[in-house]
């Protein structure tokens, strides 16, 4: 039930954003994330955006994973 | 899809698995994934098969539908039979058996029940049908409760007075405390729920590390997130550290969503709450604030509720506490399956029994 997917903001109309993911578009309420901007990714749950996704943090997490694993391999 | 595929990379998953095996040592390590969405993802991606033998993943009580007690469902069913009352609910609640029947069964016999995708859809129904009292079944954890609080706030603003809720929300950290205190389970670390944490932040887990020396990692729902979370927990456990760490920083922040926290605080206050299997846990639920009592279906629409009965043999309660694995329930796969579920853990697609049935199957 807590599944929520990242969707990209295409348009904002007041407290509603039109978001898109894999070709699917929908309207979501952004009253819990009022600072949302066009082009950003939102985590959508039960018709609401509940949080923003921070792409730089996503890249950072992946980078850290790769670095740690590379260090493991080189140490072998 | 952007920011999903990257966290499903098989090559990296294999390497993470190797690293976990390297650091895990030999002692038994019991990790609980509290959230049902993690349970689903773990089974779907075959993560159990990527772990060393001494690491055991235990599924916790994080399926809102599963932990909703029969008494709540029985009240919802009674309400659906009242004149001029329309029950609105997320789809997962429809097939959950109450003491003697489900909402779906009662709908076939004239109960007024409508499935909605968002609580805002229920509010629209209230607006379109002023002659009805529209009751939304407000279940779910901290991921979901802010969406209902925001809907209540909108109902107040628009003065849509025929929109009510039946409060069944649950709070995750008090349940984690109850699970730690239960010596039978023996949890060494928690994989904390991703989107509950997006709302509440990391602070509410600190007491688990500080007072009970249980490490916690907030992890996303994709396979690499979960493996990385397991690695972070294993490293802490092996080195005797207990901290709260965040693997899911792309969404969850230390402070959480403060806007959502503020609207929760404006709408609800903590209350003791009954969980299926775990019993009543202090401060683990919500009630509406006194000034919103006119939105409380339990207070505003008095109904007769049938005496609570539980199904003989169903081990859902023990499954939710991680004490019994689904195949060890006498009903599992014999009389209880997703087509004809006896207990809620088999109804919800995120229920532990349903996840087992789908991905592990039934022993011949």
Res A2: pLDDT: 58
Residue A6 with chain B: CB contacts under 8 Å: 1-4
pLDDT above 80: residue A4:
no
Quick one: which of B246, B194, B250, B190 has its CA closest to B220? B194
Q: Determine the distance in angstroms separating the CA of B198 from the nearest CA of chain A, rounded to an integer.
A: 7
Residue A5: count other Cβ atoms within 10 Å of its Cβ: 18
Number of compact structural domains in chain B:
1
CATH of the domain at B95: 3.40.50.11740
Residues lower than pLDDT 50 in chain B: none
> Within a domain: residue B334?
no
A9-60: pLDDT as tens digits: 999 999 999 999 888 899 999 999 999 999 999 999 999 999 999 999 999 9
Rg (CA), chain A: 16
Query: B150 and A55: CB-CB below 8 Å?
Result: no
Q: Is residue B26 assigned to a domain? A: no
Distance CA(B7)–CA(A61), nearest Å, equals 10
Specify if B221 maps to a domain. Answer: no
Given CB atoms, is B26 within the 8 Å cutoff of chain A?
Answer: no
With the C-alpha atoms ordered B300, B301, B306, B310, is the resulting torsion angle positive or negative?
negative
CB B225 within 8 A of CB B254: no
Window 2-61 of A, Cβ < 8 Å to B: 2-6, 8, 21-22, 29, 31-34, 41, 43, 45-48, 50-55, 57-58, 60-61
Considering CB atoms only, which of B2, B143, B221 is closest to A45?
B143
Does residue B179 form part of some domain? no
In a domain, B154, yes or no: yes
Q: Is the pLDDT of residue A76 over 70?
A: no
Residue B115: partners with Cβ closer than 8 Å, 6 or more residues away: B88, B89, B90, B91, B94
Determine the structural domain holding residue B78 and report its residue range: 66-170+256-300
Instruction: Report d(CA B160, CA B134) in Å as an integer.
Output: 10
Which comes out higher in pLDDT, residue B80 or A69?
B80
**Domains in chain A, please, with CATH?**
5-75 (2.30.30.140)
Mind giving me the DSSP string for B187-228? -SEEEE-HHHHHHH-SGGGHHHHHHH---EEE--SSHHHHHH
A·B CB contacts under 8 A:
136
Q: Are B358 and B40 in contact (CB under 8 A)?
A: no
Please say whether the beta carbons of A59 and B158 come within 8 A. Answer: no
Q: Is residue B250 part of a domain?
A: no
Query: Are the Cβ atoms of A6 and B1 closer than 8 angstroms?
Result: yes
Which position has the token pair 């920083």?
Answer: B249
Confidence (pLDDT) at A23: 87
In a domain, B188, yes or no: no
pLDDT digits (tens, 9 = 90+) for B300-326: 999 999 998 888 889 988 888 888 999
- How many Å separate Cα B257 from the centre of its chain? 19
Complex confidence, ipTM: 0.93
The pLDDT, as a whole number, for residue B262 is: 98
């Amino acid at each position: 039930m807590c599944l929520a997917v990242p969707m990209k903001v295409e348009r904002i109309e007041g407290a509603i954003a039109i978001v898109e993911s894999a070709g699917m578009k929908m309207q979501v309420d952004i009253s819990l994330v009022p600072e949302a901007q066009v082009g950003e990714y939102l985590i959508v749950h039960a018709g609401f955006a509940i949080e923003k996704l921070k792409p730089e943090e996503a890249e950072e997490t992946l980078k850290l994973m790769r670095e740690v694993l590379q260090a493991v391999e080189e140490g072998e | 899809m952007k920011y999903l595929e990257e966290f499903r990379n098989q090559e990296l998953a294999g390497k993470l698995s190797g690293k976990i095996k390297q650091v895990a040592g030999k002692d038994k390590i019991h990790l609980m994934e509290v959230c049902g969405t993690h349970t689903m993802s773990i089974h779907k991606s075959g993560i159990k098969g990527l772990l060393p033998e001494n690491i055991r993943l235990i599924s916790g009580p994080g399926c809102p539908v599963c932990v909703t007690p029969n008494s709540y469902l029985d009240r919802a069913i009674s309400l659906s039979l009242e004149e001029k009352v329309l029950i609105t609910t997320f789809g997962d609640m429809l097939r959950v058996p109450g003491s003697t029947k489900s909402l779906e069964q009662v709908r076939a016999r004239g109960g007024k029940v409508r499935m909605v995708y968002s609580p805002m859809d229920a509010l629209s129904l209230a607006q379109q049908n002023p002659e009805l009292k529209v009751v939304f079944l407000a279940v779910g954890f901290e991921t979901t409760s802010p969406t209902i609080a925001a809907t209540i706030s909108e109902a107040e603003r628009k003065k849509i007075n025929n929109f009510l809720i039946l409060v069944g929300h649950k709070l995750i950290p008090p349940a984690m405390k109850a699970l730690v205190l239960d010596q039978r389970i023996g949890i060494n670390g928690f994989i904390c729920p991703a989107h509950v944490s997006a709302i509440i932040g990391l602070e509410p887990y600190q007491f688990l590390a500080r007072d009970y020396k249980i490490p916690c990692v907030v992890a996303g729902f994709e396979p690499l997130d979960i493996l990385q979370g397991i690695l972070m927990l294993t490293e802490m456990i092996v080195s005797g550290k207990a901290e709260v760490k965040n693997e899911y920083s792309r969404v969850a922040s230390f402070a959480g969503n403060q806007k959502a926290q503020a609207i929760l605080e404006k709408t609800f206050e903590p209350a003791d709450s009954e969980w299926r299997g775990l019993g009543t846990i202090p401060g683990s639920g919500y009630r509406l604030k006194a000034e919103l009592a006119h939105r409380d279906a339990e207070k505003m629409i008095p109904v007769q509720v049938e005496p609570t009965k539980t199904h003989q043999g169903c081990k859902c309660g023990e499954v939710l506490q991680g004490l019994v694995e689904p195949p060890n329930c006498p009903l599992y796969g014999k009389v209880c399956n997703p087509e004809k579920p006896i207990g809620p853990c088999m109804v919800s697609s995120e229920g532990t029994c349903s996840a087992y049935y789908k991905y592990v199957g039934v022993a011949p």
